[in-house]
């Protein structure tokens, strides 16, 4: 289990921020060559990202590069430049169908072989941000063994549906759920969309907790000030850890006595609740919790 509570986007045109991001409390850093880079700056951003991959120590954080879209000249140039340097993953945007991932798979495998990297060294994170992708998300999730995580792209998705982004997240809920279910069915992580109001800490927390309550593993962030709030939302609280320990202990004691279920503080506990409690303890352990 790899911790992906917070993944910090850093524009490729801001090389001075990359080392800071690599020393942040984010679980991963995404070097962005796509939306955060103007068309006239693509080549320069690519050079700066290549330099960062060669020189910056990410300290065990997942290092991801968001390349430009499938089938575009910029996307092909991005893959050719960054794959030989072996980032942990590339983030594929604007995916519409499984064939987009399959095409990237073939190209990345070729580039790995040319660079002497082991097959599958570079993983895929895939952004599900189009209506077409949501409709085909199950096939996309299984299009390549490289796929490690599905990202939900709320802004582009809601724009395509002609809906509105609202605090309740009602306009995103169906797609959020579809992405999560596809990720779980394929054994992948699910990462929530960014929250763009940097001044609204309360809104960020509510946005992140909504996704955490659904079952998402983490959230992409666009500013270092968002990291601690997001990490907290996707890390089991001390109270949740204590409760999980009590559940596991009570169930194990009941099993040792020949019973398959037990009542704890007036609540029925069976194997389902125990498995959920063990997941809480596993996540807390990876996060360095008690």
**Tally of CB atoms within 10 A around 21:** 23
Of the chain, the percentage scoring pLDDT greater than 90 comes to 80
pLDDT band at 243; cut points 50, 70, 90: confident
CA distances (Å), 168 to each of 5, 203, 204, in order?
21, 10, 12
Domains for the chain: give ranges and CATH numbers.
6-233 (3.20.20.60), 238-286 (no CATH)
Distance CA 152, CA 175 (A): 8
pLDDT band at 268; cut points 50, 70, 90: low
b vs e for 242-251, b when ≥16 Cβ sit within 10 Å of the residue's Cβ? ebbeebbebb
285 vs 41 pLDDT, higher one: 41
Is the pLDDT at 119 greater than 80? The verdict is: yes
pLDDT band at 237; cut points 50, 70, 90: confident
Given the structure tokens 């495998």, which residue do they identify? 109
Contact 233, 219 (CB under 8 A): yes
100 vs 243 pLDDT, higher one: 100
Is the pLDDT at 176 greater than 70? The verdict is: yes
pLDDT band at 147; cut points 50, 70, 90: very high
pLDDT on residue 261: 65
Q: Which of 58-62, 142-146, 195-199, 253-257 has the lowest mean pLDDT?
A: 253-257
DSSP H or E segment with residue 102: helix 98-115
Mean pLDDT of the chain: 92
SS3 for 202? helix
Contact 101, 123 (CB under 8 A): no
Structure tokens at 125: 């994170």
Distance CA 270, CA 263 (A): 9
pTM of the model: 0.89
Contact 278, 248 (CB under 8 A): yes
Q: Report H helices in 128-195.
A: 131-135, 137-141, 154-161, 173-186
Of the candidates 127, 60, 123, 62, the one whose C-alpha atom is nearest the C-alpha of residue 89 is 123
pLDDT band at 289; cut points 50, 70, 90: low
Distance CA 151, CA 148 (A): 10
pLDDT on residue 245: 83
Backbone dihedral angles phi then psi of residue 116, each to the nearest 5 degrees: 75, 20
pLDDT band at 263; cut points 50, 70, 90: low
Residue 290: burial class (beta carbons within 10 Å; 0-12, 13-18, 19+): exposed
Pairing of strands 28-32, 218-221: unpaired
Q: What is the pLDDT of residues 16-32, one digit of tens each?
A: 999 999 999 999 999 99
């Amino acid at each position: 289990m790899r911790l992906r509570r917070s993944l910090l986007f850093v524009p490729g045109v801001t090389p001075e921020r990359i080392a800071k991001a690599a020393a942040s409390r984010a679980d991963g850093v995404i070097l962005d060559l796509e939306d955060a880079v103007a068309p006239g700056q693509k080549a320069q951003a690519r050079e700066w990202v290549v330099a960062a991959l060669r020189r910056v120590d990410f300290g065990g954080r997942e290092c991801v590069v968001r390349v430009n879209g499938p089938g575009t000249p910029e996307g092909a140039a991005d893959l050719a430049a960054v794959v030989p340097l072996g980032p942990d993953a590339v983030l594929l945007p604007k995916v519409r169908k499984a064939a987009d991932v399959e095409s990237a798979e073939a190209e990345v495998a070729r580039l790995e072989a040319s660079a002497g990297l082991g097959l599958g060294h570079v993983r895929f994170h895939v952004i599900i941000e189009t209506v077409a992708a949501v409709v085909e998300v199950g096939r996309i999730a299984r299009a390549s063994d490289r796929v490690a995580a599905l990202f939900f792209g709320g802004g582009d998705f809601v724009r395509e549906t002609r809906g509105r982004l609202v605090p309740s997240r009602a306009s995103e809920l169906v797609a959020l759920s579809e992405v999560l279910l596809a990720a779980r069915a394929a054994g992948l992580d699910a990462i929530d969309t960014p929250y763009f109001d940097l001044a609204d800490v309360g809104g960020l927390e509510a946005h992140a907790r909504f996704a955490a309550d659904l079952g998402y593993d983490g959230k992409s962030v666009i500013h270092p000030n968002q990291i601690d709030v997001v990490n907290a939302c996707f890390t089991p609280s001390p109270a949740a850890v204590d409760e999980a320990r009590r559940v596991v202990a009570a169930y194990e004691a009941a099993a040792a006595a020949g019973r398959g279920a037990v009542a704890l503080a007036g609540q029925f506990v069976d194997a389902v609740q125990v498995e959920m409690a063990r997941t809480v303890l596993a996540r807390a352990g990876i996060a360095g919790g008690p």
